[in-house]
Amino acid sequence: MEEKLLDSYAELIVKVGANVQKGQYVVIRTNPCVEGFASLVAKKCYKAGAKRVFVHWMSSKLDRVDYQNATLEELSSVPTFEEAAHKFMVDQLPVLIWLDADNPDGLKGVDAKKTAAIRSAKYKVLGKYREARDNKFQWTIAGVPSLEWAKKVFPSKSDDEAIEALWKAILTTARCLDGNGIENWQKHEDDLKKRCAYLNSLHLSKLHYKSKTGTDFTVGLIPGVIFLGGGEKDLYNHFFQPNIPSEECFTSPMKGKAEGLVVASKPLAYNGQLIEDFTVRFHEGKAVEVTAKKGLEALKSILTLDEGSAYLGECALVPFDSPINQTGLLFFNTLYDENAACHLALGTGFTELYPNFEKYTDAEIRSFGINKSLSHVDFMIGDRYLDITGTTEEGKDVPIFKQGSWAF
């Protein structure tokens, strides 16, 4: 890929995604195989004024070794240095940049129940640090091709061709293949904000999803909770773009108010495993029944992480003709695949969507109906036949989606 385009992409990540400010710490989380691009992003951070850039290296290969050789008890413990790192994240609130280059098959075959038990146990120690940072720092996640990921998406291409093809797809969906990513993102941001403003003006009480593929599902909404899309601000008024790419207008629904069946429209890559051709049935807000032709145990493990993991934390509206869907690719990566079409998320909801959320404790906001969990797992339900009808607080039905795309 041309150096000029990679430079432009790195600029987009640092200036628009993370919006690094002078004097801030930055943590870059990524895989060693993309060290070159991570170095470019680090240089951009320093140029933007960062006082120090730290790198947190991640490797599914090493994770696999741990999961297959260390005991559940040992992996569930939190050593002092790991807790100290989380405390640093709370005390200093560094900007977090996740350059996602994960191998979709990196943890394939690893015991899903074991990994779920480990996450649950560690959250009991580390969860307080995550909660203490919520809504107080800038963060962004953006994709960078690894060879394993590229070959998963383009198995028939040579190694170099696959890397080049995935770079092209990433830059296309990030709106920066023409080298004008920052300008293009501003236009996209304006469109998302206009759509959210309209949705918020309707004061919706529920959404009904219906598709001839089998989805027939109703979800209740929380009075006053907004739809949000594109960039957002932390409590210190720093504007940032959490996801590059992003096509969604999303909200957090009322816990306990979801009924019916949803049929997944795309496979879900979860913890290195692929869950395919699956359905989820909800009753009184909870996922009570799931089916899957592949990855059923991994799907079930999502629902048993904690009390809130079987409830919904997000409803996201994405047109079926989104730039990501137009590529015709399955990325095997939730950041991209969730932005191809409408999706739901099992697990925690977004407290920042509640009016004046900063005036309430976390417990108070959760009591208003926003779900809490240590997990947040997005899965795609949008297809070309999906209709979504909103019902206002006054009982008026309003078309939101028609045949997979915006009805307004």
The answer to whether residue 305 scores a pLDDT higher than 90 is no
Contacts of 8 (CB under 8 A, 6+ apart): 176, 179, 180, 181
Distance between alpha carbon 351 and the CA centroid of its chain, in Å?
15
Tell whether the model's pLDDT for residue 11 goes beyond 90.
Answer: yes
Q: How confident is the model at residue 400 (pLDDT cuts 50, 70, 90)?
A: very high
List CB contacts of 128: < 8 A, sequence separation 6 or more: none
Residue 390: other Cβ atoms inside 10 A = 20
- Measured CA to CA, the distance from residue 125 to residue 78 in angstroms comes to 7
Q: How far apart are CA 216 and CA 7, in angstroms?
A: 45
Binning pLDDT at 50, 70 and 90, where does residue 274 land? confident
What one-character-per-residue DSSP string does 74-108 give? Answer: HHHS--HHHHHHHHHHHHH--EEEEEE---TTTTT
**Res. 272: pLDDT tops 90:** no
Q: pLDDT tens across 369-387, in order?
A: 999 998 999 999 999 999 9
CA distances from 5 to 102, 179, 180 (A): 22, 6, 9
Provide the token pair at 48: 């933007």
Q: Which of 168, 138, 142 is nearest to 153 (CA)?
A: 168
Percent pLDDT > 70 in the chain is: 100
Is the pLDDT confidence value at 90 over 90? yes
Return d(Cα 360, Cα 355) in angstroms, integer: 10
Domains of the chain listed by start with CATH number: 3-173 (3.40.1830.10), 202-231+242-400 (no CATH)
pLDDT at 96: 98
One-letter identity of residue 64: R
pLDDT greater at residue 164 or residue 116: 164
pLDDT at res. 231: 94
Report, as an integer, the average pLDDT of 316-337: 93
- HSE at residue 397, side-chain half, CA atoms within 13 A, is 7
| Global model pTM greater than 0.75 | yes
State the pLDDT at residue 120. Answer: 87
Longest alpha-carbon distance in the chain:
58
